[in-house]
Structure 1
Amino acid sequence: MGMPDLTRPAPTRRQLLRASGAAGLALTGLLAGCGTGEADSGGGQTIKVALGWIKNVEFAGYWIAADRGYYADEGLTVEFQAGGPNAPDPTQSVATGNAHIGIHPNLQTVVQAIAKGNDFKLVGTQFQTGPGGMLSLASDPVRTPADLVGKKILGQQGTQPTIDAALKVAGLPKDYTFVPVGFDPAPLVEKKGAVYTCFVTSQPITLEQKYGMKEGTDYVSVTTSDLGIPGYACLVFTGNSFLDKHRKAVEGFLRASVRGWQDNARDPEIAARLAVEKYGVDLGLDLKQQIRENELQTPLTRSALTESSGLFRIDTELLGGKMYEALRASGVQRLPDASEIVDQTVLDAVFKGKSAV
């Protein structure tokens, strides 16, 4: 059993990824239908992008890029396909040619799809640090894997492999009690357990807005990366055949997206309003919650690598090293060569030796 998807707060999505992710892994060599559009010009071309979740603020930079005409500047019309319950997994959509580009929350699903023979290439990653993590009360904080030993851990079904991997990588015994809970952190507040598996962009907001708690003073939030289990999230991928024929279009999509995410870092309210009032208008999103989620997710898009080389960058040594080590520790057996599944040249063309566009 591999590491679960800890990047969304809805249990229906976890069920979706289990079902559609497994189906997506069975698809091989189906990218022949991806080559529609104006070849390699980037001009007047429609790009279909399959998202890994609903159209909320998680995709902040893309909403800004679309709203401010950055994709139009590249001669592109971008159609975003919402993910979520009952939606196809992005690996399926790209493999079957129903989308040209996928944005997938789960590193494991994408790399395993490639290992199964899907003709995918990673061209970037939205999150340098995945949002999966753990919450604890400040009175009994969990900041390191050692702090998990002997604890009663409140978690969603399917999160045990991540806990086990954190302990295994740290050379610690698998000594804890697991208590299945849902996506409301109330059991943690009620001290029914010492640790709660979470999304650091979601459940902390509940603690703040529902219980009036403050980070550091009342609760502690750590990512799985903090616990020695690093992983990229919201990976941007396409098919090799599509990339070969439409490289300028993929480059244009990434350049415009980077511009949108750069703008997003300056003001978290802009994209939150776009999500609430335009792109996710039918979802009943709460503006205050969406602003706070954007505030929490923005630091996850940055790293030392992005500071020097620009957003969306992928470190193949980190991917093939500590990230693969974490996947193997959680039970994943078959992984492709990290250096062969990443195309760095697209972002090289976007940034041209700079760290911003």
Structure 2
Amino acid sequence: MNTTRTALAVGAAAVLLLAGCSGSATGPDGGSTPTGTRGSAVSAERCRQNEAAGKVTYVTGYQFQASASILDPIAAKALGYFDDVCLDVDLQPGTGETAQNAQLVAAGTAKISSIAGNGDVLVNVSNGVDVQAVAMFGHVPVATLMTEPDITDLKQLEGTTLGQKGALPVTIEAMLRTAGVDVAKVKQVTVGFDPTVLVRGQVQSLTGYKSNEPLTLAAKGEKITEWNPEDYGVPGSMATTIVNPQFLAEHRTAVEDFLRAQLRAYSYCEQHADECVADAASLSQAGYDTAHNVQVWQTETKLVDSSLPQGQVLGQIDEASARTEGEFLVQMGQIPAVPDLAEVVVPDLVPSLYSQGQLVWPVP
């Protein structure tokens, strides 16, 4: 794994001195580091600052699915990393409605949340929702369009039925247009989350997520073709973290250390997927498919890691990529203009958590 993505146990001896005789567990670096010991990774002063933030409610993108920016905060809590930095974190399952997550954060009902990507942030901000983006995990669209193998050219979809989840993802629409498809000639219907509607012939194409529906169909032995927006030059992102602007202004150390613990847990879960997914399963209702969710996590971390730009650290968000997506959304008629990114994106927060490309833990 690239060193920019690996959590650093800086000053492990100092941490052990802080922890005294408390229990310890294996950290993401393979060493024995204290976990769940209140304040073991921060100074007494920083601990007080983080405790002053009160309960930090975090809303996931979709339930407790093992996706990037969902599984890692779950693991950070289970591993005791939030306790290590004196944060009281309440994890709440999201419904998958990105607008709802943004509204909860803007209202202060939630302080931090996962949202699908930068494009969703820009759309919500353009609609008057006051949130800021502080982190982003994947520099690639997570959406995909599935067809049966007999479709060899997207123009063949004209005159057929496309299944989507309530709205055609803008990256999928852009891909179709780029491929010369007259989208008006494709009948769109709203379908549920059962991807077998495609292989049963109820629809001839189906939108979904690279880390979900294709895995379900493959597990059933079904052969499909995936059509991905990035192959057509369509920009996108995945797993963006948004915060309430007032909360960030008043409790920046709490936001920093939330992300610090999350990033540390991300590295841990890359090596211990089964354990982290089991933690997510314990929060979910009956019927949680652990095997499928391990695949979800492994698929998404590959997307995240393979799309990380040279010279950037895991979780880093930058105005340039956000602007690219914003200009694309304007071109697609999704927003009237790119919002003032200086007010929307906080590019310096995540890089400040690293030293020489490695996550700083504990906080000096």
TM-score band (shorter)? 0.7 to 0.9
- The Cα shift of 1:353 comes to 3.8
Whole-angstrom distance in 2 between the partners of 1:322 and 1:110: 10
Q: Which moved more, 1:157-166 or 1:253-262?
A: 157-166
* Aligned CA distance change for structure 1 residues 229 and 155 (closer, same or farther; 3 Å): farther
* Aligned CA distance change for structure 1 residues 353 and 141 (closer, same or farther; 3 Å): farther
- The Cα shift of 1:223 comes to 3.4
Do structure 1's residue 53 and structure 2's residue 62 form an aligned pair? Answer: yes
1:107-146 residue pairs with structure 2 within 5 A?
107-141=118-152
Consecutive unaligned residues of structure 2, counting only runs of 5 or more, are 1-45
- The Cα shift of 1:325 comes to 0.8
- The Cα shift of 1:352 comes to 2.8
Q: Which moved more, 1:154-163 or 1:285-294?
A: 154-163
- The Cα shift of 1:117 comes to 4.2
Identity of aligned residues (%): 23
Whole-angstrom distance in 1 between the partners of 2:210 and 2:97: 25
Do structure 1's residue 41 and structure 2's residue 52 form an aligned pair? Answer: no
Give 1:332's aligned residue. 335
Give 1:275's aligned residue. 280
Give 2:26's aligned residue. none
Matched letter for residue 50 of structure 2: G
Give 1:345's aligned residue. 348
> 2:59, 2:110 within 8 Å by CA — same for their partners in 1?
yes
Give 2:209's aligned residue. 199
* Structure 2 length-normalised TM: 0.74
SS across alignment from 2:248: helix
Instruction: Find the structure with the greater CA-based Rg.
Output: 2
Instruction: Note the aligned Cα RMSD (angstroms).
Output: 3.1
Whole-angstrom distance in 2 between the partners of 1:283 and 1:334: 44
Aligned residues: 310
Tell me which of 238, 243, 246 is aligned to 1:241.
246
- The Cα shift of 1:110 comes to 2.5
> 1:168, 1:329 within 8 Å by CA — same for their partners in 2?
no
- The Cα shift of 1:300 comes to 2.6
Deviation readout 1:27-65 (Å, 9 max, x if unpaired)? xxxxxxxxxxx9982246432212232123221111221
> 2:122, 2:326 within 8 Å by CA — same for their partners in 1?
no
Q: Which moved more, 1:253-262 or 1:345-354?
A: 345-354
- The Cα shift of 1:187 comes to 3.8
Matched letter for residue 136 of structure 2: T
Matched letter for residue 311 of structure 2: S
Give 1:31's aligned residue. none
Give 1:155's aligned residue. 163
Matched letter for residue 215 of structure 2: I
* Aligned CA distance change for structure 1 residues 166 and 346 (closer, same or farther; 3 Å): same
Whole-angstrom distance in 2 between the partners of 1:329 and 1:286: 37
- The Cα shift of 1:246 comes to 0.9
Give 1:25's aligned residue. none
Give 1:208's aligned residue. 218
> 2:51, 2:88 within 8 Å by CA — same for their partners in 1?
no
Deviation readout 1:166-192 (Å, 9 max, x if unpaired)? 244567654742242443333432456
Whole-angstrom distance in 1 between the partners of 2:267 and 2:78: 14
> 1:121, 1:341 within 8 Å by CA — same for their partners in 2?
yes
